[in-house]
Chains A and B, each alone.
Chain A
Amino acid sequence: GQSLEQPSEVTAVEGAIVQINCTYQTSGFYGLSWYQQHDGGAPTFLSYNALDGLEETGRFSSFLSRSDSYGYLLLQELQMKDSASYFCAVRQTGANNLFFGTGTRLTVIP
């Protein structure tokens, strides 16, 4: 089978940096994606890592290490609006769909 494990909840202070980890057990996959979902809202795409290393998009960065079966999303200069759930996801080789992780609920406090 396959699994993508994330911490269920993370709390961080406004202006700080937070890292959300994603550890996976899966066979070959194309890359690791991250999606953000506010309460009652639709998931929205944040980033994608096809290769090992760090990808930076503004305040958000994402990292992948295939050798360690591990990735993370890094959020800098946290804002209250960053309070949301964050999901990692992979598309397995030969599959059509994304397989989503368990999700991490981030709460940003003043």
Chain B
Amino acid sequence: GAGVSQSPSNKVTEKGKDVELRCDPISGHTALYWYRQSLGQGLEFLIYFQGNSAPDKSGLPSDRFSAERTGGSVSTLTIQRTQQEDSAVYLCASSRGGLAGRDEQYFGPGTRLTVT
């Protein structure tokens, strides 16, 4: 079946502008994650959605970052008033959820955001 898809694949924006990044998870996956990866670095957790539960926003770096997940499927990550330090690859992942331990996450190809 189809994997996780993200759009756009690349986004160049001017400092101060708002951007929206989209994620389509694997059908049937109840858990959805957003991560951020700076060049040559590991993955930094941003936000987590599980079913209809309130999202875990503990990883969001500032109040300029927000995300929503509509109908338990598609998710949008919004960054307001972008700053140059927001430049990174934003990765979305989904999983079946509900497993305390092994919860294999399937990642999308990411959106490379460049703030000029």
Contacts and interface: CB of A to CB of B under 8 A. Distances in A.
A50 B101 contact: yes
B108 interface: yes
Contacts of A97: 33, 45, 48, 56, 59
A91 B48 CA distance: 13
Contacts of B101: 30-31, 48, 50, 91
Contacts, number: 56
Given A42-B109, A87-B43, A103-B41, A30 B48 contact: no
B4 to A, nearest CB: 8
Contacts of A48: 101-102, 104
A44 interface: yes
B14 interface: no
Interface residues on A, range: 20 to 34
Nearest to A46: B104
B42 A87 contact: yes
B51 to A, nearest CB: 12
Interface residues of B, number: 25
A33 B4 CA distance: 20
B72 to A, nearest CB: 16
Contacts of B106: 45
A89 B50 CA distance: 20
Contact of B56 (A30, A91, A96): A96
A41 B109 contact: yes
Nearest to A89: B43
A96 B50 contact: yes
Interface of B: 4, 31, 33, 41-45, 48, 50, 56, 59, 91, 93, 100-110
24 contacts: A31-B101, A33-B102, A33-B104, A42-B108, A42-B109, A43-B105, A45-B104, A45-B106, A48-B102, A48-B104, A50-B102, A87-B42, A87-B43, A91-B103, A96-B50, A96-B56, A97-B33, A97-B45, A97-B48, A98-B43, A99-B45, A100-B43, A102-B41, A102-B42
